[in-house]
């Protein structure tokens, strides 16, 4: 009976809140992944919507234009959700670079997070970034962002769009910071193998360099892991600040 009364009380406000929640959840790692059954995602979005209805300031939602209301909900949800997707994209880019340098580009596996066939390092770093995401309780900040987004009386489309573009500009530097130690080692190994092939032209350097590249890459991935964890953690902290900027 309480659930029925809740839905009946907020029936007009349910759709914009649900759209905002569903869009944001579709960007959150693991929860919004393609491997998660759609019934689970829809059920979680509905449950979270029902929990937020009594606490969000729904009086700021203008229902005189349902199309505009739905668009605003989709825009805010996409803006908040893209902040996490940008970080995951940078991690994915760095893993692809390392896979190519180590010669693992042909060892492709299916990545359920993105629904694509990617290298084994991409799968490893994707799950690593998802683990950091939940360890830092970033999903809590997304829920807080949903609630705070209803405090916005008028949406500043230009300012939010510029903030997303500014945040996306850190994708390449972030990917380079993650992959730099391994790529540097791979370049040095390739240079050493080049000099060795000139000194010993009769030797088959290819069969020596291939396992050496893989072994060196794995070793320096392990050695650089504390640095990678720190870089990804700081990136997610910046995401938290960006969410607060969008909803202030």
Domain coordinates in residue numbering, the chain:
2-246
Tell me how far CA of residue 64 lies from CA of 60, 61, 75, 209, in angstroms.
Answer: 12, 9, 18, 68
- Exposure string of 77-100, with b = 16+ CB inside 10 Å and e = fewer, is bbbbbbbbbbbbbbbbbbbbbbbe
User: How far is residue 193's CA from residue 159's CA, in Å, rounded to a whole number?
Assistant: 51
Is residue 36 over pLDDT 60?
yes
Q: Comparing C-alpha atoms, which of 60, 68, 71, 124 is closest to residue 95?
A: 124
Q: Give the model's pLDDT for residue 132.
A: 85
Q: Indicate the pLDDT class of residue 3, thresholds 50, 70 and 90.
A: low
Question: What is the per-residue pLDDT across 131-147, written as a single tens digit (0 to 9) for each?
Answer: 888 888 887 887 777 77
Is residue 70 over pLDDT 70?
yes
pLDDT, mean of residues 137-160: 75
User: How far is residue 248's CA from residue 237's CA, in Å, rounded to a whole number?
Assistant: 17
């Amino acid at each position: 009976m309480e659930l029925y009364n809740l839905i009946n009380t907020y029936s007009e406000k349910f759709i914009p809140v649900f759209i905002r929640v569903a869009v944001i959840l579709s960007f959150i790692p693991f929860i919004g992944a393609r491997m998660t059954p759609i019934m689970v995602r829809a059920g979680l979005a509905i449950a979270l919507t029902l929990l937020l209805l009594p606490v969000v300031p729904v009086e700021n939602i203008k229902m005189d234009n349902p199309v505009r209301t739905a668009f605003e909900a989709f825009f805010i949800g996409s803006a908040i959700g893209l902040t996490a997707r940008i970080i995951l994209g940078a991690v994915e880019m760095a893993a692809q670079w390392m896979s190519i340098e180590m010669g693992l580009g042909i060892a492709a596996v299916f990545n359920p997070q993105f629904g694509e066939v990617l290298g084994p390092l991409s799968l490893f770093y994707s799950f690593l970034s998802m683990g950091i995401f939940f360890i830092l309780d970033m999903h809590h900040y997304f829920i807080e962002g949903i609630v705070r987004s209803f405090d916005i009386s008028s949406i500043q489309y230009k300012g939010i769009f510029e903030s997303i573009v500014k945040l996306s500009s850190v994708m390449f530097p972030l990917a380079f910071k993650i992959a730099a130690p391994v790529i540097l080692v791979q370049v040095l190994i390739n240079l050493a193998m080049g000099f060795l092939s000139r000194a010993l032209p009769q030797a088959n350097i290819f069969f020596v360099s291939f396992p050496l590249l893989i072994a060196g890459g794995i070793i320096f991935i392990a050695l650089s892991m504390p640095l990678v964890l720190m870089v990804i953690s700081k990136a997610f902290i910046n995401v938290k600040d960006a969410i607060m900027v969008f909803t202030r």
